[in-house]
Amino acid sequence: MAKSRDLCRRIDRSDGFATLTLDLFSGSPNPNPCSYSRSAKRVRVSCVSPAAAAAEENRSNPFDSLSEEVLFLILDRLESDPLDKKSFSLVCRSFYAAESRHRRALTPLRSGLLPAALARYPSVSRLDLSLCPSVTDAALASVGGALRSSLRSIDLSRSRGFSYAGIESVAVNCAALVEINLSNATDLSDAAAAAIGRARNLEKLWLARCKMVTDMGIGCIAVGCQKLRLLCLKWCLGISDLGVGLVAVKCKQLRSLDLSFVPITEKCLPAVLQLPHLEDLALVGCLSIDDEGLMSVKQESKSLQVLDMSNCQHVNHAGFSSLLSKTPGLREISLAYYCKVTHSLASSLQKLYNLQSIKLDGCEVTTSGLKTMANSCRSLGELSLSKCSGVTDEGLSFFVTKHKGLVKLDVTCCRNITDLSLASITSSCTSLTNLSMESCILVSREGFRLIGQHCHLLEELDLTDNDLDDEGLRAISGCHNLSVLKIGICLKISDEGLIHVAKGCPNLQELDLYRSVGITDIGVMAIARGCPLLQIINLSYCTEVTDYSLRSLSKCSNLNTLEIRGCQVSSSGLAVVAVGCRKLTKLDIKKCYFVDDAGMLLLARFSQNLRQINLSYCSVTDVGLLALASVSCLQNMTILHSGGLTSNGLAAVLVACGGLTKVKLHSSFKPLIPKPILEHVEARGCLFQWRDKPFQVELEPSEVWKQQSQEMHV
């Protein structure tokens, strides 16, 4: 439920019911839901069955005297967990009506639920249908009819099954509509684009991967939706310079334009740069733009602040420098997987006085280029050199000493830097909040201790695949604001170091210990006790982790992602997690050989928010899998080499799980499952991935796995 300062609390009881404690009048900033002081008046409301609620309506109810303003104030303090608001709505008639009028956002799991949901919530302004694998035109017509005056935003980014007719119903009837997300609707054509053009008040439109939309369709949108402020055309392969030019001429209010991987040339850039309010322009992977074309562009854009030209393989420093001279207001630049970063390229940044962020991921960076960049830029706050070759101690040390105000630094896989670089980073950039140093293999364990000694403001730290030890973790535990810590494949850390983290980092929300084999139940239990806000933990292939760890993690009520593949856990431990972690949405139990149907039965009963599960190599049979079919939220399943499953059982589960969007199965099942069933499930919007992986029982020792991984990067 809510934090201590909230007006509403939920207290789970042993009888399966929940109690809401409403603190309406307390002036205390931290009211205690279990105490009853004179300064706070509280009402205890049991979450009862619908039948009992109906009976209560026939009596005189004191809650009916509460004003709508007070009820809305209570609802504002409830968290997003739908069970909390459902409990509230079942109290009495006035609470039910208030909750109906209060809700503004709706995210159904299946379009079949829409008619009842729309009747229940007539004031919805944001409708997210991205979790519905299939949305029909009839469903969209019902949306257009029910939410005529209230709907402002609709998201169909991962849905299928609708056509231009459904889009037209929404666009024509919902006059207040300002946002539509149709990304990944690969079947939509110009007819759908013409329907979108009838939404006259549209301000934000996403059409990523709508590959059948052409210049004609985008022209209809440009003419009809002249209030557009954001337009995403990423991977719209049917659009050319003509279509983009029409957008630039008609949509003068555009602030953000994404043309990534669109087959355009420099011909449309003059019109784009003339947009008076354009702030964000993405040209990622525009392979037809070259140096000559950029140098021919004469127009300036003083409003442009963010430019992404990553993976523009035919642009070198000459063309890029020419473009930069016409965009003096840039604050962020991304040139990932670009040309070689040399002295000449870095010099072109000199007149960008407002530049705050540079991303050069995957580039070849020279020492002279990095030094020139350090001198050219004035007040950088973010630098990303992830997977850049050529980064040396000399260049990086020089850079960080010039930019002591850096708050985000990414040197992932910069394999030539040593303790010298880290010493310069930690002594110069003490204001860092984000530091990524995955696979910096030449940095010693002594070097990593400097992080905790100097960078106390860190919130996110990635030290995956490094020579980190327990003394390093002891130092890092001094970073009390740390919320994300990734220390997977660190073979020298143990429970001792993890105990320090648990004591010093109470705000930790994400912890990655993938293949850190020195971790056992003792360390995990310490984390569970010391980090109550934990939401994500990865313990995959920590082979000493058992059910004791799961029992301790069951106390972390906010846990939503649990990855324990290859751990020595059983159904008993999984059951405890299912009961205690009701917000669990992602579960990976691959190669947990002792998890069987008993675990699935309890998981199905208590983990009703579960959306993704990996059951590969588990001892689950048709019985356990059929139990999971009752989890209405389930969308993604991976099931490889589970010997207890039959084709009939799989077929039954596929039919019963109406919300599935992706299923990964072994190819041996494909000819055994009746083709009409597969076609039926695919028609609902589910994508099948068939794999022919060989059966593997023995886990590779982490030292061998790490050596093989490093050899692949050489």
Task: Give tens-digit pLDDT for 113-164.
Answer: 899 999 999 999 999 999 898 999 999 999 999 999 999 999 999 898 999 9
Question: Does 20 score more than 70 pLDDT?
Answer: no
The Cα–Cα gap between 584 and 537 comes to 11
The Cα–Cα gap between 565 and 648 comes to 27
User: Can you tell me the mean pLDDT for 174-179?
Assistant: 96
User: Can you tell me the mean pLDDT for 297-324?
Assistant: 92
pLDDT band at 698 (very low <50, low <70, confident <90, very high): low
DSSP secondary structure string, 4-72? TTSSEEEEE-TTS-EEEEEE-S---SS--TT---TT--EEEEE---HHHHHHHHTS--GGGGS-HHHHH
Give the chain's mean pLDDT.
89
- Taking the CA atoms of residue 492, residue 495, residue 496 and residue 497 in that order, the dihedral angle to the nearest 10 degrees is 60
Question: For residue 562, what are the β-bridge partners?
Answer: 537, 587
The Cα–Cα gap between 216 and 266 comes to 20
Tokens describing residue 333: 């630049």
Other Cβ atoms within 10 Å of 331 Cβ, number: 15
User: Nearest to residue 516, comparing CAs of 574, 569, 469?
Assistant: 469
The per-residue pLDDT for 49 is: 58
| Alpha-helical segments (H) within 274-339 | 291-296, 317-324
Question: Does 30 score more than 50 pLDDT?
Answer: no
Question: Does 7 score more than 60 pLDDT?
Answer: no
Percent of the chain at pLDDT exceeding 90: 74
Tokens describing residue 505: 């980092």
By the 8 A CB rule, do 518 and 499 touch? no
Q: Who contacts 428 (Cβ-Cβ below 8 Å, separation ≥6)?
A: 400, 401, 403, 404
pLDDT in tens, 629-641: 999 899 999 999 9
More confident residue, 670 or 378: 670
CA distances from 13 to 47, 237, 573 (A): 10, 56, 21
pLDDT band at 15 (very low <50, low <70, confident <90, very high): very low
CA distances from 584 to 368, 379, 506, 554, 661 (A): 49, 42, 21, 10, 18
The Cα–Cα gap between 6 and 263 comes to 52
Tokens describing residue 72: 């809305």
Write down the pTM of the prediction. Answer: 0.87
The Cα–Cα gap between 372 and 332 comes to 18
Tokens describing residue 614: 């990996």
The Cα–Cα gap between 318 and 664 comes to 47
The per-residue pLDDT for 54 is: 53
Other Cβ atoms within 10 Å of 13 Cβ, number: 10
Q: Who contacts 298 (Cβ-Cβ below 8 Å, separation ≥6)?
A: 270, 326
User: Can you tell me the mean pLDDT for 183-211?
Assistant: 96
For the packed helices 164-173 and 137-146, what is the interaxial angle rounded to 10 degrees?
Answer: 0
> What 8-state DSSP symbol labels residue 232?
E
pLDDT band at 77 (very low <50, low <70, confident <90, very high): confident
